[in-house]
Amino acid sequence: MAGRPEDSISSVLLLGLAATLGLTFALDVRRLDAATGPAPLVQSVRARSTVAYQGEQIVVTWEGTTHTVASLVQVEHDPPDWTQLDYLALGPSRRFTVIRRPGSEIRFDPQRRTGITTTGLNSEEDIFESAHLPWLLENYGITMVPDELLGRRATRIVLVPEIADRPSRTLVVDDVTGVLLRSERVGPKGSLGEVTTFLRFEVKPAGWRKTASVPTGLRLTPQLAVRAATAEEVARVLGGPPVQVAVPEGFHKTGDYLTGEGPPVVQIYSDGLTTLVVYQRRDSVARPPEGSELVATSSGPIWVQRLGLRTLVHWSLAGKNVTVVGYATRTSLQAAAERTGITAAPRLWDRLVTWLREVMDWF
C-alpha cells in the first residue's frame, strides 16, 4: 500500500519522538537507579575525597589456611593533596610508608629511606555513581542496619553477590562523615578473607596537613607507568586483536591498559564492587607462574593458583598467554577459561621455535 509522502514524514517524526522519549526515559531510570542507591554507600565513596581525618587501622588478610598478613596503619588523610599511610607490619614484614599526592604516589622504607615513586592510575571515584553503582546494584543484594563503632553512630551495609562465585562484603560507614570505619570481605563458603577496621578515628579540619611535604633525602626508583591504551595499540602489541575472555557473569570491562613489565596488555573488569584483571601477552607457549597447579581440561591445560579469596588462572589461546586474577572462586574462573577457549598443550616443536626466537631476540 503506497502512502502519501506527508504520512511517511509524520511516521518518521512520530517514531523519532517515541525513540527520543524512550531514550530519555531510559536515561532517567539509570539516573534514578544511581540516585536511589544506598545513601551511605554513595556517601562513603564521596567521603574519600572530601573528609579529612586521622586514625589508626588494623588490616588483616588471610592468604590461605596458614598464612596471614597483618599490619597496623597510621592514617593521615587531608584530601585532595595529602594522604600518608605508615604501615607497621605485625610479624616479619618491614615498615613502610605511602604518601599519595595528586597524580603521584611514593612508597618507601622510612629506615633505609629507599623506595619507589609511581604515577599510577587515577581513582575512578568520579564515575562511581554513573558506571559502577548500577553494576553493583545489578550484582549484589544490599541490606543496611544501624550500627555503632568506636562510639560513633554508623550504618552496617551488607553486600551479598547474586552469583555465589565471589565474596560478599560488609561495610560499616560512619553516619556523620561517611568514612568507612570497617570493611570485611567474606568468601563464598563463609571464610573471612580480609578485615580492615579503625582502632582510632578522629575527624580533622580540611587543610590540616596543608604544610606537609615529602621527606627529603629519599632514594626513589621510578616505577614503570601504566597507561590507558587504545584498541589499535593493544592490537599492535599483541599482533592482532586480544582474546575476548568470557569473564564471569556480571563483570563489565572498564578499560585497556599497557604496562611496562609483565604481560603488556591489561584489561580491567568490574562488577561494581570487585575488580577482575585480565593480562594478555603474545606468546605461543604458556608460561604459568611458579606454584600454579596444572588442571587438564578436555580442551587443553590451564594453571590455577589461589591466594586468600583471590584466584589466578593462566592458559594459552590463539598465540596469546592469558592470565586472569580476581576475587572469584576457582570453579568460576576455570569455567571462564573453558568458555573462552584453551589451546592444547604446546608441542616440543613449538617450544623449540619459541626458544630459538628468544635466542634471536637476545642477539
Partner 1 sequence: MHLSHELTAYLDGTLTAEEASVVAAHLAECTECRTTLDDLRAVRSLLHTAPPIRPHPAALSRTLARIAMVETRQTVPQWLIAVATMAVGIALLLQLRVPTAPRQSNRVSALWYFQQQAEFAAVHPMADVTLTSYLSSALPYETFPEWPAAQKTR
Grid coordinates representing 58 are: 588494623
CA-nearest of 150, 329, 363 to 248 is 329
Within 106-165, which residues bind partner 1 (CB under 8 A)? 107, 109, 112, 114-116, 120-125, 127-128, 132, 136
CA-nearest of 316, 309, 300 to 332 is 309
Instruction: Collect all residues with Cβ–Cβ distance below 8 Å to 283 and sequence separation of at least 6.
Output: 316, 319, 320, 321, 354
Question: Which region among 2-10, 24-32, 203-211, 340-348 touches partner 1 (by CB under 8 A)?
Answer: 340-348
CA-nearest of 315, 298, 301 to 345 is 301
Question: Which region among 24-32, 207-215, 332-340, 349-357 touches partner 1 (by CB under 8 A)?
Answer: 349-357
CA gap 70, 72 in Å, rounded:
7
Q: Which is nearer to partner 1, 26 or 121 (CB)?
A: 121
Q: Is 82 in the site for partner 1 (CB under 8 A)?
A: no
Burial class (CB in 10 A: 0-12, 13-18, 19+), 72: middle
Question: Which region among 208-216, 233-241, 293-301, 328-336 touches partner 1 (by CB under 8 A)?
Answer: 293-301
Residue found by looking up cell 524512550 in the block? 22
Sketch the per residue contact string, 8 through 47, with partner 1: x for CB under 8 A, - otherwise.
---------------------------------x--xx-x
Dump the DSSP string for 125-177.
GGGIIIIIHHHHHHHEEEEEEEEEETTEEEEEEEEEESSTTS-EEEEEEETTT
Shortest distance in whole angstroms from residue 290 CB to partner 1? 5
Q: Which is nearer to partner 1, 77 or 209 (CB)?
A: 77
Check residue 210 and report its DSSP letter: T
Shortest distance in whole angstroms from residue 190 CB to partner 1? 20
Within 299-318, which residues bind partner 1 (CB under 8 A)? 301, 303, 305, 307-308, 310, 312
Size of the site for partner 1 (CB under 8 A): 92
Q: Are strands 219-222 and 114-118 parallel, antiparallel or unpaired?
A: parallel
Q: Is 219 in the site for partner 1 (CB under 8 A)?
A: yes
Grid coordinates representing 326 are: 580476581
Sketch the per residue contact string, 185 through 214, with partner 1: x for CB under 8 A, - otherwise.
---------x-x-x----------------
Question: Which region among 11-19, 21-29, 262-270, 332-340 touches partner 1 (by CB under 8 A)?
Answer: 262-270
